[in-house]
Amino acid sequence: MCSKVFPCELFLEHLRSAENLESFSGRHFLSGFDIEMETLGVYDDVQETEIWESIWLHHPGLDFFLFLEHFQPYWVLWLGAFGPAQACKEYTCSITPINKDGMMRMEYVGGIHHVRASSMEVVNSRECLILSDATVKNLLHDGGIDVAVCLYPRATTGDGSANLFSRSSGESPSKVLRRSGRR
């Protein structure tokens, strides 16, 4: 990316005109990130963070960016919203890396961060997909990984708080199994 500094209102226009950032419109997309297999699991003493160029999803009135960062030995995928902080509360997302034959996939379903959130804030929130080198190796094909992303309007309860998955009994299935003694 270039080193020019722009006011926020001009940033998206700059991306459209000056950067070759891959972009999509709508509520979902399938794209990917180039990753060199030779570098997986090979680390020196310097703890580096590698950051890939983000992928842009334009949804009417809002813009989102898919980020991939590598903190040795972990890989982090997360979605950031560019706009009012309220946008992060109005949507949830799914981030799904898929292997070549579509038989293996990992999925994150949950919240969206503001693009100004730091990488450590994202990781510490646990609202992201964290993969190991071994998992990324299993997902790799043709020099990268494919990632499907979907946006969903956030379902809310009567008090306005998020309810990603509604349960008829109010108890989680794992709690019911623990109580019954089954595993």
Per-domain boundaries in the chain = 20-165
Q: Which H or E element spans position 17?
A: helix 8-18
Identify the pLDDT of residue 103: 75
SS (H, E, C) 36-100: CHHHCCCCCCCCCEEECCCEEEEECCEEEEEEEEEECCEEEEEEEEECCCHHHHHEEEEEEEECC
Identify the pLDDT of residue 111: 92
pLDDT in tens, the chain (183 residues): 455 555 656 666 666 665 555 566 667 788 888 887 666 665 555 567 777 878 888 777 788 889 999 887 789 999 998 877 887 888 899 999 988 777 778 899 999 998 888 888 999 999 999 999 888 888 888 778 889 999 888 765 444 444 444 444 456 556 555 565 554
Percentages of the chain per state (helix, strand, coil), in multiples of 5: 20, 35, 40
Identify the pLDDT of residue 71: 81
20-165: CATH topology is: 2.60.210
